[in-house]
């Protein structure tokens, strides 16, 4: 079976504009995302999550290593044919309504007007924006804008959704709604790859997670396997994995034998 995302020994570097020094922000990263999975790409701010996604999206090029989507190298634009993408910051034309925005995107995707109307009704119901569909986007709350971004990402019926921090800045209800939408995609057989720095809150939706810290993979696997019995939640597991001195101390003979990244 073709992996949905395959990343191997990926290195991303940036050059400092002043010093000209090269800084590695993603360091020999290797993992795969399987068909139908909800995969959480976790790590604190600056860990390298967006940089990795930017390679998948073709916005950034890898210094070395490789990445492919549905078996196609990401250097080929056709690799992105079957994906929907929600950027970390959504900047939409705020003088448009939700309906108008989706119509504009539908035309970019080459959908006919009937299809656009049908998909718009369906998606605005899914993201619970029906009542606000004719309101200007600039009157939307952050959560509503984020849900509209999700509707836009879903417009082309993608097989893979790439969401960069879809729940950041949302209140608990907004986060719950986003999680619900993610789970509905999974139920429809789609694959979801999303990033978050809120480690604790993603536990319930992810089949597997990768934890990134300073560009390096610290853990990979189902949440239940990464967490040690002494870890109350994934956040505590993360603190332990990065060797933070205040992390809960596990009993030496308890818990899974291997917390290290395993082969994907
Ligand atoms: N265009 C850029 N030029 C230089 N440095 C960058 C650029 N984009 C990101 N970085 C740096 O790369 C590191 C990883 O950033 P990023 O991938 O955005 O992390 P995350 O999404 O996990 O918060 C950070 O230290 C950030 O400052
Ligand atoms: Mg980011």
Whole-model pTM: value is: 0.89
Which tens digit of pLDDT belongs to each residue from 22-39? Answer: 999 999 999 999 999 999
Ligand 1 binding pocket includes 19 (Cβ within 6 Å)? no
What ligand has the least distance to the C-alpha of 51? 1
pLDDT confidence bin for 250, thresholds 50/70/90:
low
For residue 173, how far is its CA from the centre of ligand 2 (angstroms)?
22
Q: Which of 63-77, 83-97, 204-218, 234-248 has the lowest mean pLDDT?
A: 234-248
For residue 6, how far is its CA from the centre of ligand 2 (angstroms)?
20
| Interval 143-154 mean pLDDT | 92
- Residues 29 and 88 sit within 8 Å (Cβ to Cβ): no
pLDDT confidence bin for 223, thresholds 50/70/90:
confident
Ligand 1 binding pocket includes 47 (Cβ within 6 Å)? yes
Quick check: 192 pLDDT over 60? yes
- Residues 62 and 11 sit within 8 Å (Cβ to Cβ): yes
pLDDT number for residue 69: 97
Q: Which of 48, 60, 61, 197 to mutate to test the pocket of ligand 1 (most atoms within 8 A of CB)?
A: 48
Quick check: 258 pLDDT over 60? no
| Interval 227-231 mean pLDDT | 80
What ligand has the least distance to the C-alpha of 44? 1
Running DSSP on this structure, what letter comes out for residue 249? Answer: P
What ligand has the least distance to the C-alpha of 41? 1
pLDDT number for residue 263: 47
Q: What is the share, in percent, of the chain residues with pLDDT greater than 70?
A: 93
Instruction: Strand 83-86: give its sheet, edge to edge.
Output: 83-86, 160-164, 191-196, 38-42, 208-213, 216-221
Nearest to 63 by CA among 13, 6, 9: 13
Which tens digit of pLDDT belongs to each residue from 78-129? Answer: 999 899 999 987 777 778 999 999 999 999 889 999 999 999 999 999 999 9
Ligand 1: nearest atom to the Cα of 15: 4
Rounded to a whole number, what is the distance in angstroms from the first to the last CA of the chain?
14
pLDDT confidence bin for 251, thresholds 50/70/90:
low
- Residues 53 and 215 sit within 8 Å (Cβ to Cβ): no
Nearest to 95 by CA among 85, 86, 104: 104
Ligand 1 binding pocket includes 210 (Cβ within 6 Å)? no
For atom 5 of ligand 1, which residue has the closest CA? 14
Ligand 1 binding pocket includes 14 (Cβ within 6 Å)? yes
SS3 150: helix
- Which protein residues have their CB within 5 A of the ion that is ligand 2? 49-50
Question: Bridge-partner residues for 26, per DSSP?
Answer: 12
Ligand 1: nearest atom to the Cα of 26: 14
């Amino acid at each position: 079976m073709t992996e949905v995302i395959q990343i191997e020994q990926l290195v991303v570097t940036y050059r400092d504009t002043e010093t000209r020094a090269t800084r590695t922000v993603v360091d020999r990263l290797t993992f795969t995302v399987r068909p139908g999975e909800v995969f959480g790409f976790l790590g604190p701010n600056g860990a390298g999550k967006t940089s990795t996604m930017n390679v998948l999206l073709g916005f950034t090029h890898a210094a070395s290593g490789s990445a492919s989507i549905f078996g196609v190298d990401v250097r080929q634009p056709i690799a992105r044919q079957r994906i929907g993408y929600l950027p970390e910051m959504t900047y939409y034309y705020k003088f448009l309504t939700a309906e108008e925005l989706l119509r504009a995107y539908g035309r970019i995707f080459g959908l006919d007007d009937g299809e656009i109307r049908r998909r718009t009704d369906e998606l605005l119901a899914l993201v619970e924006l029906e009542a606000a569909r004719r309101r200007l986007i600039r009157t939307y709350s952050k959560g509503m804008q984020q849900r509209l971004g999700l509707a836009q990402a879903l417009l082309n019926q993608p097989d893979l959704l790439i969401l960069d921090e879809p729940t950041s800045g949302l209140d608990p209800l907004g986060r719950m709604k986003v999680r619900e939408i993610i789970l509905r995609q999974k139920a429809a057989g789609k694959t979801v790859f999303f990033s978050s720095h809120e480690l604790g809150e993603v536990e319930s939706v992810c089949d597997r997670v990768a934890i990134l810290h300073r560009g390096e993979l610290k853990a990979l696997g189902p949440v239940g396997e990464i967490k040690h019995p002494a870890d109350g939640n994934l956040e505590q597991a993360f603190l332990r994995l990065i060797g933070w001195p205040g992390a809960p101390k596990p009993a030496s003979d308890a818990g899974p034998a291997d917390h290290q990244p395993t082969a994907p």
